Amino acid sequence: MKAILTTIGKDQVGIIAGVSHFLAEKEINISDVSQTIMNGYFTMMMMVEIQNEKTDFAVLSQQLDELGKQLGVEIKVRREEIYDAMHQL
């Protein structure tokens, strides 16, 4: 399944490294990435591919919450369809 992972928070050293290291460990592939700094806030969006059979979405969300706390940012993962649904017919 495709999902969008968003990371938002105060910029500091090691955010990209922390997130991508976590994803690599979970064998989650990053297929696209976009990152900017808006008003001093680090904003990163990643499109990722999650293998359904291996991953429990609830556990993944919780682990990303915890990782976010360690890195001082907010990390959310949502299935891609919600973004498509809202903006196109």
Partner 1 sequence: METEKIKETIHMISDENLDVRTITMGISLLDCIDSDSDVACKRIYEKITTKAKHLVEVGHQIEIEYGIPIINKRISVTPISIIAAASNDKDYFKYAQTLDKAAKVLGVNFIGGFSALVQKGYQTGDLKLIRSLPQVLAETELVCASVNVGSTRSGINMDAVAEMGKIIKQASERSFMSNTKLVVFCNAVEDNPFMAGAFHGVGERDTVINVGVSGPGVVKHALEKVKGSSMDVVAETIKQTAFKVTRMGQLVGTIASERLGVPFGIVDLSLAPTPAVGDSVAQILEEIGLEKVGTHGTTAALALLNDAVKKGGIMACSHVGGLSGAFIPVSEDAGMIDGVNSGSLNIEKLEAMTAVCSVGLDMIAIPGKTPAETISAMIADEAAIGMINNKTTAVRVLPIQGKDVGETVEFGGLLGYAPVMAVNNASSAAMIHRGGLIPAPIHSFKN
Work out which of 20, 57, 63, 67 binds partner 1, going by CB under 8 A: 57
Is residue 13 involved in binding partner 1 (CB under 8 A)? no
Min dist. Cβ of residue 70 to partner 1 (A): 20
**Given strand 2-10, what is the order of strands in its sheet?**
29-38, 41-49, 2-10, 73-79
Stretch that binds partner 1, among 9-17, 20-28, 75-83 (CB under 8 A): 75-83
- Chain positions 37 to 56 lying near partner 1, rule: CB under 8 A, are 43, 45, 47
